[in-house]
Amino acid sequence: MFSFFKKSVAEYNAPLDFSYENISPKLKSKEYFKIWKNADNTEGIPVFVLFDKSLEDMLRENFYEHKEIDIEKFFKEKREENIQPPFLGEEDDVGISYTTPTSFPIILEEKIVLAKVPVKKPWEIFEKIPFGSFEDCPPANVISAFCKMACEKYGAVPFAISSDTLELSLSRRLTKSEALEFAEKLYYFCPNLFENETIYEIADGISKSDFCFLGW
């Protein structure tokens, strides 16, 4: 199914067994969002995929385990382990130090495609693109369960996938309480986000952004 690419960006054929289109890696952030937002979804759910050798190797080796995941139980077990996000108990008013509208301007030499994944729900794309299971990143079925919760509760849907990042698009502005609640769940799911930020800084950024960027 997957074979490492040997062609230039201009003639690149993505190793996917469903519809996709090549996208320039040098567009502005708003242009990517416009392409994604206006994509014809009759062939499937659109998501950007930024290919490199690491991602191709991951997709070649990974598979999607059709095992139901109770994501709320996942969060509960983390809390019971007394794992707490930084500054969870005391709010500060430093404010967000950065927002990440999209990762594309940073990655200019990747092979970018807009995949049309033949599934009915956004979180089901990980059944066809089994991203995950590296370092501290959860396996694809846990990511799928997390994205299902994020979509249904916070309006967050997968926007872009690379070899070590997942970007979500927020379809609506979250309230401060929603953003704080979401930020706590993000800590249990992707603790790397909190290496240099408090939970209140992350929550403040989420409440003001159209995107949520996760990296492992």
Q: Mean pLDDT: which of 27-36, 133-142, 188-197 is highest?
A: 133-142
Compute and round to an integer the Cα radius of gyration of the chain.
Answer: 17
CB neighbours of residue 18 within 10 Å: 14
16-25, 146-155, 179-188: which range is least confident on average?
A: 16-25
**pLDDT value of position 73:** 94
DSSP one-letter string for 42-57? SSSEEEEEEE-HHHHH
- Spatial contact of 215 and 189, defined as CB atoms under 8 Å apart: no
Average pLDDT over residues 49-60: 87
What is the per-residue pLDDT across 69-86, written as a single tens digit (0 to 9) for each? Answer: 999 999 988 888 866 666
Q: Name the band, by pLDDT with cuts 50, 70 and 90, for residue 63.
A: confident
Cβ contact 88:184 at 8 Å: yes
Q: Is the pLDDT of residue 168 over 90?
A: yes
The pLDDT tens digits of the residues spanning 140-166 come to 999 999 999 999 999 999 999 999 999
Note the pTM of the prediction, 2 decimals: 0.83
Strand (E) or helix (H) holding 20: strand 20-23
- What is the chain's length? 216
